[in-house]
């Protein structure tokens, strides 16, 4: 008999886990890595693939069914398909996905698919090469486009595209990006610019919010109809245009969804964060390297999840606009890089 799912203080099950496999990245997106210099995690602290798969199995035994590999940029982690293969073999995991900026995807899509990856999400914020360069500080737009095509050709379906919409930066491309997604047989999700660690230039006025996005889509397509959620824990709310095409909005800033959140994140060095906004994480690498047994690790995870009461985005949303500022300054982030979005994994 399957045991009842493990629940936190707000009754939320442990279901979705994100593994950040590196804190490094080959882009410098303005909303994530705007600084010139970063403090990196020591390489000796990075979990091996064996350690990662061992942890995944402990989480799966306690209820995790969906795993997403992220970063930093996960495709710069050497031999990543090997990790995918190990994770695909963990019992009970029925959804294995990866989020990437797409720069290195053209070369890796087939190997990832062959290793057992189910789905992929590619982040793309603009279709204009010049703008891509100024948003990411790297000239890799064409490589991302090739990566998207390669993912589709490798059968990594359903393909998703993620776009962070920033007012005054790319809010004029919502319709074009939606049409691009259709042409690439992908579903696009528009993400509100969040005040997470790393977003040191965030301010309320730069958030192009969910209602504004729906409004752009309504003006272009006539109406947008909400699609009833098949999974209440999914971060994106989905909509349909009158011609039946779907898109999603992840409105973490103005319409947060903490009440149903079953997600948590493990950094590349084994720190487990129960919320994207949590200031403290639980060290899993230490006990693992001390030789704790599978049962002992599961007991630690179960105890920690049972105590979870985090509602980071809802708490931030309750603040009046004039009190909302970036979550951390660049100097806070240098003193603890675990607070960075590119370390925690988005």
> DSSP states of 282-334 as a string?
EE-HHHHHTT--HHHHHHHHHHHHHT----HHHHHHTS-GGG---SS-HHHHH
Torsions phi, psi of 29, nearest 5? -60, 140
Identify which of residues 10 and 325 has a Cβ nearer to ligand SF4 in the complex. 10
State yes or no: residue 257 binds ligand SF4 (CB under 6 A). yes
State yes or no: residue 191 binds ligand SAM (CB under 6 A). yes
DSSP 175: H
* Cβ 102 to ligand SAM shortest distance, Å: 8
Which residues, in sequence order, are CB contacts of 65 under 8 Å at separation 6+? 15, 16, 92, 93, 94, 95
Q: How many residues belong to the site for ligand SAM (CB under 6 A)?
A: 22
Residue 22 contacts residue 268 (beta carbons within 8 Å): yes
Which residues, in sequence order, are CB contacts of 237 under 8 Å at separation 6+? 210, 226, 229, 248, 249, 250, 251, 255
Residue 90 contacts residue 129 (beta carbons within 8 Å): no
State yes or no: residue 98 binds ligand SF4 (CB under 6 A). no
Helical H segments across 124-173, by residue range: 129-136, 141-153
Q: Is 225 exposed, middle or buried (0-12, 13-18, 19+ CB in 10 A)?
A: exposed
State yes or no: residue 312 binds ligand SF4 (CB under 6 A). yes
For residues 20-79, which are near ligand SAM according to CB under 6 A? 25, 31-32, 70-71, 73
**22 closest CA partner among 100, 122, 106, 125:** 100
Residue 30 contacts residue 125 (beta carbons within 8 Å): no
Residue 257 interacts with which of ligand SAM, ligand SF4, none, CB < 5 to 8 Å by class: ligand SF4
Residue 100 interacts with which of ligand SF4, ligand SAM, none, CB < 5 to 8 Å by class: ligand SAM
State yes or no: residue 281 binds ligand SF4 (CB under 6 A). no
Instruction: Candidates 112-120, 142-150, 190-198, 293-301: pick the segment binding ligand SAM (CB under 6 A).
Output: 190-198
* Cβ 106 to ligand SF4 shortest distance, Å: 16
d(CA 314, CA 1): 36
Binding mask 112-141 for ligand SF4 (x = CB under 6 A): -----------x------------------
Which residue reads 């920690």 in tokens?
Answer: 304
State yes or no: residue 100 binds ligand SAM (CB under 6 A). yes
Measure CA 167 to chain center.
21
Residue 199 interacts with which of ligand SAM, ligand SF4, none, CB < 5 to 8 Å by class: ligand SAM
Binds ligand SAM by CB under 6 A, chosen from 145, 150, 164, 188: 164
* Cβ 9 to ligand SF4 shortest distance, Å: 11
Instruction: Candidates 59-67, 165-173, 269-277, 280-288: pick the segment binding ligand SF4 (CB under 6 A).
Output: 269-277
State yes or no: residue 188 binds ligand SF4 (CB under 6 A). no
* Cβ 22 to ligand SF4 shortest distance, Å: 9
* Cβ 26 to ligand SAM shortest distance, Å: 9
Give the HSE-up count for residue 292: Cα atoms under 13 Å, Cβ half-sphere. Answer: 19
d(CA 120, CA 209): 25
Q: Which residues are at the interface with ligand SF4 (CB under 6 A)?
A: 25, 27-29, 32-33, 71-73, 101, 123, 256-258, 261, 263, 275-277, 310-313, 342
Q: Which residues are at the interface with ligand SAM (CB under 6 A)?
A: 25, 31-32, 70-71, 73, 99-101, 123, 162, 164, 191, 193-194, 196, 198-199, 341-342, 345-346
């Amino acid at each position: 008999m399957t045991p009842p799912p493990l629940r936190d203080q707000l009754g939320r099950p442990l279901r979705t886990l994100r593994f950040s496999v590196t804190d490094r990245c080959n882009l410098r997106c303005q909303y994530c890595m705007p600084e010139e210099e970063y403090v990196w995690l020591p390489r000796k602290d990075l979990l091996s693939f064996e350690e990662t798969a061992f942890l995944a199995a402990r989480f799966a035994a306690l209820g995790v069914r969906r795993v997403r590999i992220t970063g930093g940029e996960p495709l710069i982690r050497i031999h990543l398909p090997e990790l995918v293969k190990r994770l695909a073999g963990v019992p009970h995991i029925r959804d294995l996905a990866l989020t990437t900026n797409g720069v290195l995807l053209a070369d890796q899509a087939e190997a990832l698919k062959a290793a057992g990856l189910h789905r992929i999400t590619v982040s793309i914020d603009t279709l204009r090469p010049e703008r891509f360069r100024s948003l990411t500080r790297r000239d890799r737009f064409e490589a991302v486009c090739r990566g998207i095509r390669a993912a589709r050709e490798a059968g990594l379906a359903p393909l998703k595209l993620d776009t962070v919409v920033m007012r005054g930066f790319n809010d004029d491309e919502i319709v074009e990006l939606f049409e691009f997604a259709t042409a690439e047989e992908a579903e696009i999700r528009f993400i509100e610019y969040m005040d997470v660690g790393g977003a040191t230039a965030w301010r309320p006025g730069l958030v192009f919010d969910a209602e504004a996005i729906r409004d752009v889509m309504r003006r272009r397509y006539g109406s947008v109809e909400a699609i009833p959620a098949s999974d209440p824990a999914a971060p994106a709310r989905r909509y349909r245009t009158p011609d039946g095409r779907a898109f999603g909005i992840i409105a973490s800033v103005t319409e947060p969804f903490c009440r149903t959140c079953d997600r948590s994140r493990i950094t590349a060095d084994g720190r487990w964060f129960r919320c994207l906004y949590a200031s403290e994480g639980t060290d899993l690498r230490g006990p693992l390297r001390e030789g704790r047994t599978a049962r002992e690790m599961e007991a630690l995870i179960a105890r920690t999840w049972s105590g979870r009461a985090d509602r980071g985005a809802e708490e931030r949303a309750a603040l009046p606009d004039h009190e909302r500022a970036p979550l951390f300054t660049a100097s806070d982030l240098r003193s603890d890089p675990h607070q960075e979005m590119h370390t925690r994994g988005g």
